[in-house]
Structure 1
């Protein structure tokens, strides 16, 4: 399969987007082709083929054709991109680009891949799994983006731009129904005076019964129901260069945070569970579950104000963001019919951000983006745990009289600049940097035993970038760059002593070296891009087991070791004839840890464990996609047929314990060599076949369409995420099986 996809990439591969008029900043150094794809992820408007970074642009049609509910269906569509859902939190995602990720939903632990919606960064993993609705264009930037996007983007950025109010009267209405009693309705309504005032209103509802079968409750499991609604108001005075958009929205979601039990006989919980619920496989068995009923309730109101003003060749931009989330979630983490570990988690989180920037030309051949950034957030968590309760009707907060409380606060500010300088004919230097400062605070306590500890610390970092590109002609560009990204330090929410709760872990950094080339060929029928990179990952933040606390050991976050990741990426688009578009992408990666040694428990004692032989998580050696789209003109309109295959090699989703080899000094174990991750946290190979057919026609003067679609038509069954917990139990989430349905829509 890998050879087939590589061969397809060499024949013609994605930039699956049409030209979009984006409003972010400034003209690029090269002329803009009227048919070119315009991207704004470098905070300036420039063509994809003249942007000297590894970037993939994806338009709304790709997600629409799959009837996607969220951006998770982008997995495998852009080189080196994985997006999987994390059921332990609402709209929580495990995002990985180029093998860099961090799978933890605690809000004190920051992402490694930034998700930016209309210029506002989402500060936690919760909320990153955005709805695939009303998106104008989505851009995937690969590699550290610290200069323009700041801390916590060491893997890259997913930049989402939603549609703007059109300033004209119009609407788009759509409904879909599919397998698992899944249905959704979408509505976008625009009103305006055609020039200076406009408003956009939208509503999106999605619900499903879920694709799991719970034999304990005798009901489908994995159900969810979500609503997203809001309004965007736009003001653009006539004969003025000022433009302002105020967006007010809310997301509500109720869902079943189901997990599949993958515990085996070596783990404690299996001693208390029925035999048929243990030692199950991690493919077809995942879809039968045994857990008690649980529910998650999530609300996330948000507001964004973006203002742009062009003053004499300098474009000034202000983006103000506010986001508040409220979560109440119960969850049966052991996934069995026995009441062993059931939790009640209640959280509130608020973030406020402000970015001010200016973009323009200092002189001919020299353009810039400079700015200031401020961010603050705070959250509180209360968790009640019913451990070995054997009393499923007792609420966790009645059973647990010593509930845990965590309070955290972050305050960050930064100054940045990014510059392009055409130093000679056909040569350009890109350079810039960002100075960031983060103040972190965390307090950990329990209801009965009181304060465990608290910590407060500031972290500062300068993240530079420099690159050079060469354009021998208008159809090709070669570039090379070095950039540094960093992920801020902080405090451990699971620390169990005053000393560890007040001791911070330090920032981690990634130095990325990249070379690439972008080509237009065959009279611009073929666009082909390739990039090679080496990422040097230092001072990794990883969970570590050390002595202390009421149970004798505790889990804290520490800086340990590093990793080296090397890779080659390709993407392209070929339009060999009218109406036919072929796209493909590919990523080949090789990665390994360096000096990854942390404490863990062996024979009742804490000794150093060397994990250097383990795989990095969410880092498949090969992933890629091939897609075909054909538009046929008909007497009533057109028929658009799409067919796509995404291939993802097996990947691990947790640093865990496979086979162990103790290193002895006499009768004393001095170190334990870990011989790889637990096999249960490895996915099977995924070959995801998607297809759709859309009939476009006129209906009483309006544009109407009917679409039939299918996802994962080969019915691949495997995990998307899996975790083992300290020799106690293990659980997993399953990949959506074969799904199909139909959509009816109208636009006027």
Structure 2
């Protein structure tokens, strides 16, 4: 059993890292490429026609706030057909992982509907509301300001566009890695319904329905309701019962008003409600303190099959997120004006057993409220023949209030952290952001076009850290601003080929440390991150338009890298702060192909190659009770696999009752690390610098081989269509971590990816 002194030291370290663990756990917890060839009917009507495009099967994207054919857009982008994802019963955007080159999306169980997103090796996976993502998720034109709330249901999606590389001109700050641009279907003004129910392994049920009807020719109404529940795929190591269950409701209504052809208004009111159990898998080993308190069988467990048996005490959360969005378009002829207004709120109440054992060593409760308001105004048109533009302004305002109660060495599973901790930590923060932007295309010579633009952004932030009994610890108030330009040129030697080159700059705002515990560290801001990306690429239509092949190569220079570090100070003896620790260089090649050799068969393939290296990474850390400079330059950047690849096929066969559609898809994701952590140490262990030789191997996920398949029978019943689909995901039962975290020599925990699952879906469309 550990000594009383060791226990006291551990308690201080844990309390000081309380905010860090619960969020950083999560934290370190495009291509111009082609995409799926569209269905034979062509793009969805809501996408609209593209001026100058004569291909009825052209894929329409809005990556540059214009409607353009994918192959005419000089941006590294993959447009993903949501219908193909529905066929394999994909539930949320997490199932996009591997569908585009150099794209990773993993679920973060320390926050509601939270995602860890990485594009081209750029990520910052932290659920703290003051810590902003590097990859933007945009839903119907609205930027989601936090990692929570990003795992959206797929059922009502029209199209998903994955934009790789900095998107600082049109999408703004905090998109230095890229953007996932999601468009949901619009009301059709006609009576119709799409509804389905499914059952899958692990007690997973879902029911979804979208109804459309019109009120005259002016108003279109689309109510929707989605529900799913699951028992979870973990097993309790003591009772044998399923763990990790959840229920999710998402409901609302979209109302479109179009009094005449020149004006339309879309109003969407919705709410997401989640109740979920949070489980962690224990991966603590005998080099860490908690092994002295936990039963021996809970130490030194592996990071594959052992992950699926859990021992932590019950923990869970609730999440409610109402929102309202209004989009208005007014076409005056010369100029198209667009306004997008949104208000989103959320409330969360979550507990989590981070030591992952039934010994009750470290168990917090987090209660927080968040809201964001955003307004964007755009004007688009042609200044003269061969010169088009999009210009606009943007305003973003958010605030949050977090209270965390922490139970450290409670040894009392029945006691709520609220009753245990009489000195909870409180963090309150605000962000105001203002931006003006412009994006321009100029066809200055035959077959040559210049694309250029820029965005000026100003961010104003405040953060206040306090404890209930100790009172105010510190607070900060500062502003950050940046101009992010982009310039590129593309050349079309013939209608079937385009070559382009571009340079763009991305910016991720600075801020204040939400876990700082002294007046000095709480009031000292960290600076913004900046990425300069250089890219060349080609987009080719080959074999009479049956093959699309796109290729891109890029180099990104990443400066001002923001990272969490733990240093001495504060009422508990140590604190976690965020500061700028170094730079990195990321190189890559991306390929994307879509081939339709015959009418009823389409084949898709992607490949991403990545070389991500820190140029320098120096941060303070504690060794033998003394803060020393640690050099992490030999560590691998997180969520940066060397290889991602996929290949998929869809075949449709007409039959007497309708149509059979079969799909099969294989995704390969190379191994990658999920946390900047301490591997073997060399160098000067007394005075520093201490050389860190790689990350802890437990935070590395092994390579993944993911195989999915489905078979769908479509039945024609009068004017309606019914369908029955059998599906399987991860058919090879590839097991391992989706997130893993080590905590300062005290303990370690992880979460697992979904094992093999299969099920059946029935539905109707009318």
Q: Indicate the TM-score class for this superposition, using the shorter chain for normalisation.
A: over 0.9
Separation of aligned partners in 2, 1:20 and 1:504? 47
Give the alignment partner of residue 237 of structure 2, picking from 215, 219, 230: 215
Determine the structure 2 residue equivalent to 1:289.
310
Return the offset for 1:549: 1.2
Deviations 1:426-480 (A, max 9, x none): 0000000000000000000000111110000000100000000000000000000
Among 563, 566, 584, the alignment partner of 1:563 is: 584
Contact kept in structure 2, 1:26 and 1:360, CA below 8 Å:
no
The equivalent position to 1:352 in structure 2, one of 358, 364, 373, is 373
Normalising by structure 2, what TM-score? 0.94
Cα-to-partner distance string for 1:707-746 (whole Å, 9 max, x where unaligned)? 0000000000000111111111111110100000000000
Equivalence for 1:180: 202
Q: 1:673 aligns with which of 679, 691, 714?
A: 691
- 2:144 aligned with 1:144: no
Match of 1:8 in 2: none
- In structure 2, the residue matched to 1:576 is 597
Matching residue of 1:654: 675
* Match for residue 746 of structure 2 among 696, 718, 728: 728
Cα separation, 2, equivalents of 1:16 and 1:446? 56
Deviations 1:92-112 (A, max 9, x none): 100000000001110000010
CA distance change for structure 1 residues 588 and 523 in 2, over 3 Å: closer, same or farther?
same
2:109 to 82, 87, 99: 87
Q: Does 1:39 align with 2:61?
A: yes
The within-5 A match list for 1:245-644 is: 245-644=266-665
Structure 2 segments unaligned to the other structure (5+ residues) = 1-32
Give the superposition deviation at 1:595.
Answer: 1.5
Aligned to 1:74: 96
Give the corresponding residue for 1:9: none
Distance 1:495 1:105 in 2: 16
Q: For 1:685 and 1:291, how far apart are their aligned partners in 2?
A: 27
CA-CA distance at 1:407 after TM superposition = 0.3
Matched position secondary structure for 1:680? helix
Per the TM alignment, residue 216 of structure 1 is displaced from its structure 2 partner at its CA by 3.8
CA contact (8 A) 1:258 1:331 kept: yes
CA RMSD of aligned residues (A): 1.4
CA spacing shift, 1:475–1:16, aligned 2, 3 Å: closer
**Cα distance, 1:23 vs structure 2:** 6.2
Give 1:685-700 correspondences, 5 Å limit.
685-700=703-718
Equivalent residue for 1:197? 219
Name the structure 2 match of 1:4: none
1:70 and 1:79 mapped to 2: Cα distance? 18
- Structure 2 Cα separation of the partners of residues 650 and 63 of structure 1: 24
| CA distance, structure 2, for counterparts of residue 101 and residue 13 of structure 1 | 23
Q: Deviations over 1:341-381 (max 9, x none)?
A: 00110010000000000011001100000000000000000
Q: Does 1:717 align with 2:739?
A: no
Q: Is the 8 A contact 1:13 1:574 kept in 2?
A: no
* Helix, strand or coil at the partner of 1:335: coil
Q: Which residue of 1 aligns with 2:722?
A: 704
Offset at residue 701 of structure 1 (A): 3.8
Report Cα offsets for 1:645-691 as digits up to 9, x if no partner: 00000010100011111326xxx432110000000000011000000
Conserved? CA contact 1:684–1:718, under 8 Å: yes
- Alignment equivalent of 2:43, drawn from 12, 20, 30: 20
Q: CA deviation at 1:129?
A: 1.6
CA contact (8 A) 1:370 1:416 kept: yes
8 A Cα contact 1:23 1:45, kept in partner: no
Is the CA contact (8 Å cut-off) linking 1:437 and 1:458 kept in structure 2?
yes
- Given the two structures, how large is their TM-score scaled by the length of structure 1? 0.96
Is 1:162 equivalent to 2:184 in the alignment? yes
Structure 1 SS opposite 2:689? strand
Which runs of no fewer than 5 residues in structure 1 stay unpaired?
1-11
Partners of 2:355 and 2:529 lie apart in 1 by 32
Q: Look up the match of 2:124.
A: 102
Return the alpha-carbon distance in structure 2 between the equivalents of residues 515 and 326 of structure 1.
Answer: 44
| 8 Å CA contact retained: 1:507, 1:539 | yes
**Is the Cα–Cα contact under 8 Å of residues 16 and 58 in structure 1 kept in the other structure?**
no
CA contact (8 A) 2:43 2:57 kept: no
SS of the equivalent of 2:503 reads strand
Distance 2:47 2:328 in 1: 10
Using a 3 Å threshold, how does the CA distance of structure 1 residues 24 and 523 change in structure 2: closer, same or farther? closer
SS of corresponding position for 2:169 = helix
CA shift at 1:21, angstroms? 4.6
User: Shift of residue 313 of structure 1?
Assistant: 2.4
Q: Which residue of 2 aligns with 1:741?
A: 759
**Secondary structure class of the residue paired with 2:673:** coil
| Structure 2 residue matching 1:180: 3-state secondary structure | coil
**Whole-angstrom CA distance in 2 between matches of 1:637 and 1:274:** 59
